Amino acid sequence: MLLVVDVGNTQTHFGTFDGERLVEHWRFATVRESTADELGAALRNLLELRGVGLSDLTASIVSSTVPQLEPEWVAMAERYLGHRMLAVGPGLKTGMAIRIDDPRELGADRLVNAVAAHARLGGPCIAVDFGTAVNYDVISGAGEYLGGIIAPGVEISLDALTSRGAKLPRIDLIAPRTAIGKGTVGAIRAGIVYGFAAQVDGLIARIRAELGADAPTVATGGLAHVVVPCTESIDEVDDLLTLTGLRLLFERNG
């Protein structure tokens, strides 16, 4: 089986593939100080919950937005899985030309999402990832990575609002009942959810205008399920987009 690992700033999402079939996937909090041994123990424990052993993993690939954790995952694979883990970065075959000023600046997660979105939708297309940041990644009709937008994430914005506003409570992120809040909690919820939905629709409209095409858009990320129902411009939601992109990149480098 193939192990795919998406290390985000807040959560780490990983899964196992048998060919093109996703067998199982898990999420756990990203701890930046984790060692290779700690990652190996966490991986083993979660796999055992589904009756899978470390010896069943014959290959692996990692994408990390946390620089210090990439070498720890690679070391974990060498120590406990007995093979060299691929890491998304310079030198990896992507099948996608990168048309930005400095390709080295492109985050691994954004590249992975772009590859998966293009495989799913063709080009041109747009991928929107609701993670620690909200990333908008744009692919041309020729399958080239053109660039994108990085905006503060939903939870970052909510944290900033409630930490700087002494009387504002921390709230659960669920769909608001109305745009006009009847209390503080309702008002914050409407501002966050409808505010981000309006941001998404506005930015996608600008991207499509620059592309000169009504590019289909796929959303992913932990908070997509909260914001996307309030948008008008997202065509699909795929919670497993990044894991699929990692599988595709592994296959292109096999």
Radius of gyration of the chain (CA): 19
- Distances, alpha carbon 207 to alpha carbons 32, 126, 144, 218, 221, in Å: 34, 9, 15, 14, 20
Q: CA dist 8 to 19, 108, 129, Å?
A: 24, 10, 11
Minimal CA–CA distance to 173: which of 159, 43, 119? 159
The reply to whether 239 belongs to the active site is: no
Q: Which of 6, 18, 109, 239 is catalytic?
A: 109
Give the bridge partners for 60, in sequence order.
3
Residue 235 dihedral angles phi and psi, to the nearest 5°: -90, -35
Report the catalytic residues.
109
